[in-house]
């Protein structure tokens, strides 16, 4: 078999299907430690630097299993091709390298259907490289999008395949961990861009302000979308209740944590606000299904690889958080779990507020890497393990 290229979605499908492949990441160990391929099921992966292949070819080749399909990943594609050619010379027969490099994995979106009602469909768009989720709500010939990433073509093509146009796009808050897509998606499609004044009023984004408790609808039938202000992760954090059955929670409620309130540098003040918002969440019907903006790892997904749980189960598995009964103790929990936020978050906030412009290459750099938005000891442990 000749050398070949593959795309990020091919890699995801191989890993989901548990194909017997070996992933070889040839970036340096620092970049690998910061961000690498993760999948729903265990798979074999090796980090052998491109520079090792240049300087210690025989030893490096010996670290790659033989007689197995090899899938190589690098930063931009060129290094992976170089290593693939070395392996081919050494008799490896099934070798592919990722076209476009690791950024294509970082931008990959995978659609999973959450629900199909009588007059709507609800989809979760999983971004494995960021451990984040955006959402699409389809009814008739219209589609609403929640927290889109900058992979605009995906959302536009997804809507077109269903004979829809994107009519509304929502931001649950001013994102700090990735470049948000609502502003550009609205520009390209004519969709209304909805956001909370408390986060966006000082931005230079053209948007339509949300009102707490308002109900938004499709032009013809479909489910109601109720706005619920849930500040704390940011002052303008907003949740959306779809058909009184689903809670698109942004960074408010996670399956294995709650959104951290310290990213704005006002941990104590925002923790008090977040504690009050938790009271709002606990008062909701516990049968409502939580649809989070992020996850920590694939263990949180169900058998259909969808990240969702009934609110009652989320509250039960996070008792250490939700059983705290006063603001002072809640801040104590937050303080005990605080960790340094990535340096790029400050720049990402400015870009998302349209207060700073960066070129495409810089956007790609800022957008790589998993999120650090959860406030929990588990999340802090994960960070320590990869530091």
Rounded distance between C-alpha atoms, residue 340 and residue 372, angstroms: 9
Q: Which long-range contacts (CB under 8 A, 24 or more apart) does 342-351 make?
A: 342/177, 342/369, 342/372, 345/176, 345/177, 345/263, 345/372, 346/176, 348/175, 348/176, 348/177, 348/178, 348/179, 349/174, 349/175, 349/176, 351/179
Rounded distance between C-alpha atoms, residue 326 and residue 20, angstroms: 51
**Catalytic residue status for 133:** no
Rounded distance between C-alpha atoms, residue 252 and residue 234, angstroms: 9
Rounded distance between C-alpha atoms, residue 106 and residue 38, angstroms: 11
Q: Which residues of 238-262 are buried (b: 16+ CB within 10 A; e: fewer)?
A: bbbbbbeebbbbbbbbbbbbbbbbb
Q: Which of 74, 133, 164, 373 is catalytic?
A: 74
Instruction: Give the list of residues 6+ apart from residue 260 with CB closer than 8 angstroms, or none.
Output: 233, 334, 337, 338, 372, 373, 374, 375, 379
Rounded distance between C-alpha atoms, residue 32 and residue 247, angstroms: 34
DSSP states of 7-56 as a string? -HHHHHHHHHTT---EEEE-S-HHHHHHS----SS--EEEE--HHHHHH-
| DSSP structure class, residue 91 | T
Residue found under tokens 């078999």: 1
DSSP states of 150-190 as a string? S-HHHHHHHHHHTT-EEEEEE-SS--SSS---HHHHHHHH-
Going by C-alpha positions, the residue among 60, 53, 21, 52 that lies closest to residue 37 is 21
Active site residues: 74
């Amino acid at each position: 078999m000749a050398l070949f290229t593959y795309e990020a979605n091919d890699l995801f499908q191989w890993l989901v299907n548990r194909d017997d492949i070996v992933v070889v990441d040839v970036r340096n160990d620092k970049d690998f430690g910061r961000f690498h391929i993760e999948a729903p099921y265990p798979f074999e992966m090796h980090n052998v630097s491109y520079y090792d292949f240049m300087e210690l070819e025989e030893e490096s080749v010996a670290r790659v299993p033989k007689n197995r399909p090899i899938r190589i990943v690098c930063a931009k594609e060129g290094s992976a091709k170089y290593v693939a050619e070395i392996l081919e010379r050494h008799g490896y027969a099934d070798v592919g390298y990722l076209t476009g490099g690791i950024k294509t994995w970082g931008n990959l979106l995978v659609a999973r259907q959450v629900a199909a009602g009588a007059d709507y469909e609800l989809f979760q768009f999983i971004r494995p490289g960021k451990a984040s989720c955006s959402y699409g709500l389809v009814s008739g010939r219209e589609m609403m999008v929640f927290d889109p990433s900058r992979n605009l073509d995906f959302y536009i093509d997804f809507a077109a395949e269903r004979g829809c146009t994107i009519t509304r796009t929502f931001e649950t808050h001013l994102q700090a961990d990735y470049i948000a897509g609502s502003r550009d998606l609205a520009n390209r499609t004519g969709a209304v861009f909805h956001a909370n004044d408390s986060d966006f009023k000082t931005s230079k984004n053209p948007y339509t302000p949300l009102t707490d408790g308002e109900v938004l609808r499709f032009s013809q039938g479909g489910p109601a979308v109720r706005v619920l202000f849930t500040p704390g992760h940011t002052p303008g954090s907003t949740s959306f209740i779809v058909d009184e059955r689903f809670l698109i929670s942004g960074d408010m409620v996670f399956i294995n944590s709650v959104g951290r309130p310290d990213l704005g540098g006002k941990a104590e003040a925002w923790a008090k606000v977040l504690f009050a918002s938790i009271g709002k969440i606990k008062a909701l019907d516990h049968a409502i299904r939580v649809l989070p903006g992020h996850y920590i790892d694939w263990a949180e997904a169900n058998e259909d690889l969808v990240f969702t749980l009934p609110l009652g189960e989320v509250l039960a598995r996070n008792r250490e958080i939700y059983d705290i009964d006063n603001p002072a103790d809640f801040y104590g929990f937050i303080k005990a779990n605080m960790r340094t936020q990535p340096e790029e978050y400050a720049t990402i906030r400015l870009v998302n507020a349209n207060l700073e412009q960066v070129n495409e290459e810089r956007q790609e750099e800022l957008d790589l890497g998993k999120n650090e938005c959860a406030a929990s000891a588990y999340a802090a442990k994960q960070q320590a393990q990869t530091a």
